Amino acid sequence: MVACWRSCPRLTTYLTTNGAIIQVAGQHTASTPSGRIPKHSQRKARRSSDCPRPIDMPPQTNSNTAAGDAEFRTLRLQDAHTDMASTPASVGGSLRTTSVDKGATTWPSSPAPSIHEEPQARNEGYDEKNHGSDDDDVEKGRPRPSGAAAAPGSTAAAAAATTPPPPPNFPEGGRAAWCTVVGACCSVMVSFGLITSYGVFQSHYVSVLDRSNSDISWIGSLQTGFFYLVGAVVGRLYDALGPKRLTLAGTLLLCFGLMMTSLATRYYQLLLSQGIAVGLGAALLFYPALLSVPSYFLRLRGLAVGIVVAGAALGGVIWPIALQRMFLDPSLGFGWTVRILGFIVLALGLVATALVTTRAPPRKHGAFLERQAWSDVRYTATVVGAAFSTLGFFVPYFYIESFAIMKGVSTDVAFYSVTALNGGSLLGRLFSAGLCDRFGKFNTLLASSLASTLLCLAFWLPLGATSGLNASQAVATTMSFAVLFGFGNGAFFSASLPALASFTPLTHLGLRAGMLYTVLTIPALVGTPISGAFLSEVDDAHFVNLIIWSSLTQLVGFLAFAVARYRISPRLWHAV
Average pLDDT over residues 176-199: 89
Of the two residues 34 and 196, the one the predictor is more confident about is 196
pTM of the model: 0.62
pLDDT, residue 552, reads: 94
pLDDT, residue 125, reads: 38
The structural domains of the chain, with segments of one domain joined by +, span 1-151, 175-568
In sequence order, the 6+-apart residues with CB closer than 8 A to the CB of 161 are none
Pick from 113, 345, 152: which is nearest to 247 by CA? 345
Pick from 390, 298, 394, 288: which is nearest to 349 by CA? 288
Q: Is residue 21 pLDDT above 60, yes or no?
A: no
pLDDT, residue 66, reads: 40
> For the segment 331-359, what is each residue's pLDDT rounded down to a tens digit?
888 899 999 999 999 999 999 999 998 88
In this prediction, residue 155 has a pLDDT band, given cuts at 50, 70 and 90, of: low
Residues of the chain with pLDDT > 70: what percent? 70
Residue type for 190, please?
V
CA angle 428, 434, 437 (to 5 degrees): 130
pLDDT, residue 412, reads: 80
- CA distances 326 to 189, 293, 394, Å, are 19, 34, 25
Mean pLDDT comparison of 15-24, 37-46, 420-429, 530-539, highest-scoring range: 420-429
Average pLDDT over residues 138-145: 41
> For the segment 299-335, what is each residue's pLDDT rounded down to a tens digit?
888 788 888 888 888 888 888 888 888 888 888 888 9
In sequence order, the 6+-apart residues with CB closer than 8 A to the CB of 314 are 189, 193, 426
Written as one string, the DSSP assignment of 532-545 is: HHHTSS-SHHHHHH
pLDDT, residue 44, reads: 52
Q: Is residue 162 pLDDT above 80, yes or no?
A: no
pLDDT, residue 3, reads: 43
Average model confidence (pLDDT) across the chain: 74
The Cα–Cα gap between 257 and 282 comes to: 10
Report whether 67 contacts 79 (CB < 8 A).
Answer: no
Average pLDDT over residues 127-138: 40
In this prediction, residue 46 has a pLDDT band, given cuts at 50, 70 and 90, of: low
The Cα–Cα gap between 449 and 261 comes to: 35
Could you tell me which residues are beta bridge partners of residue 21?
Answer: 76
In this prediction, residue 285 has a pLDDT band, given cuts at 50, 70 and 90, of: very high
The Cα–Cα gap between 449 and 362 comes to: 34
pLDDT, residue 381, reads: 95
The Cα–Cα gap between 252 and 276 comes to: 14
**Architecture of 175-568 per CATH?**
Up-down Bundle (1.20)
pLDDT, residue 402, reads: 84
pLDDT, residue 6, reads: 43
The Cα–Cα gap between 147 and 23 comes to: 19
Average pLDDT over residues 268-293: 91
Q: Is residue 456 pLDDT above 90, yes or no?
A: yes
Lowest mean pLDDT across 16-30, 338-352, 514-528, 542-556: 16-30
> For the segment 375-386, what is each residue's pLDDT rounded down to a tens digit?
899 999 999 999
Residue type for 503, please?
F
pLDDT, residue 77, reads: 39
Q: Is residue 157 pLDDT above 90, yes or no?
A: no
Lowest mean pLDDT across 18-32, 195-209, 286-300: 18-32
The Cα–Cα gap between 540 and 548 comes to: 12
Counts for the chain of helices (H) and strands (E), in that order: 25, 4
> For the segment 416-453, what is each residue's pLDDT rounded down to a tens digit?
888 888 888 888 888 887 788 788 889 999 999 999 99
pLDDT, residue 389, reads: 92
Q: Is residue 48 pLDDT above 90, yes or no?
A: no
- Residue 541: exposure state from Cβ atoms within 10 A (0-12, 13-18, ≥19): exposed
Q: Is residue 127 pLDDT above 80, yes or no?
A: no
pLDDT, residue 119, reads: 41
In this prediction, residue 106 has a pLDDT band, given cuts at 50, 70 and 90, of: very low
Helix (H) or strand (E) holding 341, with range, is helix 333-355
Of the two residues 308 and 165, the one the predictor is more confident about is 308
